[in-house]
Amino acid sequence: MSSLKEQTSPKVGFISLGCPKALVDSEQILTQLRAEGYEISSSYELADLVVVNTCGFIDSAVTESLDAIGEALAENGKVIVTGCLGAKEDGNVIKKAHPQVLAVTGPHALPEVMSAIHTHLPQPHDPFTSLIPPQGIRLTPKHYAYVKISEGCNHRCTFCIIPSMRGDLVSRPIHQVMQEAENLANAGVKELLIISQDTSAYGVDIKYRTGFWQGRPVKTRLTELASALGELDVWVRLHYVYPYPHVDEIIPLMAEGRILPYLDVPLQHANPRILKAMKRPANAENNLSRIQQWRQICPDITLRSTFIVGFPGETEAEFEELLQFLQAAQLDRVGCFKYSPVEGATANMLPDPVPEAIKEERYERFMKVQEAISRQRLADKVGRTITVMVDHVEEDQVIARSSADAPEIDGLVYVNAPPHGLKPGDFLQVEITDSDAHDLYTSISKQ
Ligand code: SF4
């Protein structure tokens, strides 16, 4: 790189070909570049990277675009391609002709182009000009962070008013989610908690559109997202995953240790009639066999779920069915809510509301069954050595969490007589010496 480049902000060269629509795309990219502090270079030599906005309308335009890419590669070497030709054959027309290009996007792809530029020519964070760190402002402790991948929900569960407040599902583009996750990992975050209203539905609204991360195509879809997050070398924990069929694809990633073997699946009930009255997505019939299959693929998987008792019309027999499901499913972590009529929820109109006293009684019975299951499942772990992440350091003990424990909602791991100098986010190998209904008691592993 020449000394001229070293003295200035990162410089981007830009070649804009094609029709006025492509021109507007170019203007938007250039505007964004300037807004972020990049300089625009008029020469290949002074640019740190070149963007070529292509046209693919007729043969001569294709040739002109491919020639322009070839010239930029020869003169500069670092080239990102966008525009109509980029959309042809999923970018393969360009990749076949010029495999050295860093990234290819279709037209009207400002976020993807900016993401590719951020990857290959990062804008250094300047504490004098930017008051916001690259990972943004966070309210969580420094070692873990929530990443919201979508907003809203396409379902209409009768007990819920979220869709009326937040609207239908809107997925964040994958490059944006991955950039945020990468920034967090680079800032020292050790655990990413993936959240949304309906994590399994990620990308449905944008037809699983292909985005770009680190110069390669990645679909806006849960499996691809989980796989990409698994490359960041941090704990990745998935929440609010409805048991749609494609969730089965995630389990091998857990078995391979790429993401945490932890799945938060809100099942809400086990009786088909109640689930229908709730209008729950995904059908309950085969949930049990799915859970068994998941455990076969990933024996260490921790399953968390939430349920509602006392839903309007729930009979004693239907509630009993729920208890039998709990016994059969042997879930690790379970939350239970007594049905309460949220203003505006359509379930309020259903007949046969369950009296408060019965709701309370069912809640107690439910919790008793689950507490025994939870106690036994934790007792079965005694003697094992596990990896935990430090949350709090106290004088003579450390409070940590294992892969089975999401912050705030699951159990804790108490580490007895820890070594000095530990800090939140550190990992430890501990041996489990005791357990109760929710937590584990451990000491530092001698292995
Ligand atoms: S409960 Fe969840 S899936 Fe159902 S409508 Fe509300 S947000 Fe959507």
Question: What tens digit of pLDDT does each residue of 424-434 get?
Answer: 999 999 999 99
What is the 241 CA–ligand 1 centroid distance (Å)? Answer: 11
Query: Which numbered atom of ligand 1 lies nearest the CA of 240?
Result: 2
Instruction: Kindly report, residue by residue over 133-181, the tens digit of the pLDDT.
Output: 666 767 788 899 999 999 889 989 999 888 888 889 999 999 989 999 9
- Cβ of 199 below 6 Å from ligand 1: no
pLDDT at 5: 42
CATH number among 2.30.110.10, 3.90.76.10, 3.40.50.1970, 2.40.50.140, domain 384-441: 2.40.50.140
Res 123: pLDDT: 74
pLDDT at 130: 62
Pick the CATH number of 11-120 from 3.40.50.11270, 3.50.50.60, 3.30.470.20, 3.40.50.12160: 3.40.50.12160
Q: For residue 153, give the ligand 1 atom closest to its CA.
A: 8
What's the CATH code, domain 144-380? Answer: 3.80.30.20
Distance CA 149, CA 199 (A): 7
How does DSSP classify residue 301? -
Residue pLDDT, tens place only, 69-113: 999 999 999 999 998 888 888 788 898 999 999 999 888 888 889
Decide whether 11-120 matches 384-441 in CATH topology: no
Q: Is the pLDDT of residue 201 over 90?
A: yes
What pLDDT is attached to residue 2?
Answer: 38
User: What value does the mean pLDDT of the chain take?
Assistant: 90
Q: Which pair of structure tokens corresponds to residue 63? A: 């040739």
**pLDDT at residue 69, rounded to an integer:** 96
Tokens of residue 394, six digits: 């106290």
pLDDT the model gives residue 115: 84
Is 422 touching ligand 1 by the criterion CB < 6 Å?
no
Report the predicted TM-score, pTM, of the whole model to 2 decimal places. 0.77
Task: Give residue limits of the domains in the chain.
Answer: 11-120, 144-380, 384-441
Beta bridge partner(s), residue 442: 415, 432
* Nearest ligand 1 atom to alpha carbon 268: 1
Where does residue 58 rank: exposed (0-12), middle (13-18), buried (19+ CB within 10 A)? exposed
Q: Is the CB of 160 under 6 A from ligand 1?
A: yes
For 20, residues 6+ apart whose C-beta sits below 8 A from its C-beta are: none
DSSP state of 268: B
